[in-house]
Chain A
């Protein structure tokens, strides 16, 4: 009897970036992972800064802060805030959906198929809208605080 070989996952890590024909939520998931890893990297730098440099006294702290007030660091800081906003709000959406909220009722799989997430797509769009508004609010604050 002819054996059916399982399809190999040849995409590897590339498959984390390219989601093929999957819909919006799959790309939101990729972005959730990317922002999560970015925030983890920032967390390690932030913890080092607020412990090692803080405990060494006023001079070291002020010297560190003067470096961090450089416009490029400020821009990087803004990107971290954007990543935090996205990761937090998308994470809350994922928690609600995992617990069964914001999902459409299950229906028979009759073509054209509609998955449960897409029946309540407006909640996802509302979340994206809130993310954009919060990013603009923080952008205004970063600009008005001076680069």
Chain B
């Protein structure tokens, strides 16, 4: 039953990523086409532009939400692929806990940076 819930969350996070990563990708890469529609992003990867976005709570919120769903979706997907190799119960526990610990550490570190940049 637990795996059913994990899989259901995998579907929900997948749909959320399609929306959030869609916004992120269009904003970061479609500058010429957005410019055609009158949206001037200037130098989107430049330091000043990046710091300006980092000070906005909305962008920090989008990045943190995206980070949470992406980390779950990616690491649970990786776990599913590894478990397809049908390891022993002990190896399965080691894989699961390694992935959980890595995910929590990556989340804490990656959330610390945008929060600390909010006040720059």
Footprint of B on A, CB under 8 Å? 33, 36-37, 39-40, 43, 47, 50-51, 54-55, 58, 61-62, 65, 68, 77, 81, 84, 88, 91-92, 95, 98, 137-138, 140-142, 144-145
Closest-CB distance, B77 to chain A (whole angstroms): 6
Taking a contact as CB atoms under 8 Å apart, the answer to whether A141 and B47 are in contact is: no
Given A141-B31, A144-B32, do A95 and B14 touch, yes or no (CB 8 Å)?
Answer: yes
Chain B CB count within 10 A is highest, among A33, A51, A140, for A51
CA separation between A81 and B33, bound complex, in Å? Answer: 15
Complex CA gap A62/B113 in Å reads 17
Tell me the minimal C-beta distance from B40 to chain A in angstroms. Answer: 14
Query: Judging by beta carbons under 8 Å apart, are A65 and B33 in contact?
Result: no
B119 contacts chain A at the CB level, 8 A cutoff = no
Q: Chain B's interface: helix, strand, loop or mixed, by majority?
A: helix
Interface range on chain B (Cβ under 8 Å from partner)? 20 to 34
Using a CB–CB cutoff of 8 Å, the interface residues on chain B facing chain A are: 11, 14-15, 17-18, 21-22, 25, 29-33, 45-47, 50, 67, 70, 74, 77-78, 81, 106, 109-110, 113, 116-117
Distance in angstroms from A48 CB to nearest chain B CB is 9
Give every chain B residue within 8 A of A138 (Cβ-Cβ): 29-30
- CB neighbours (8 Å) of A51 from chain B are 109-110, 113
* Closest residue on chain B to residue A36 by CB atoms: B77
Residue of B nearest to A57 (CB): B47
Task: List 24 contacting pairs A-B, 8 Å CB cutoff, sorted by A.
Answer: A36-B74, A36-B77, A37-B78, A37-B81, A40-B74, A40-B77, A50-B113, A51-B109, A54-B117, A55-B113, A55-B117, A61-B47, A61-B50, A68-B45, A77-B29, A81-B29, A84-B25, A92-B15, A92-B18, A98-B11, A137-B33, A141-B31, A141-B32, A145-B32
Q: In the complex, what residues of A have CB within 8 A of residue B47's CB?
A: 58, 61-62
Whether B106 and A47, one on each chain, are in contact in the complex, defined by CB atoms closer than 8 angstroms, is yes
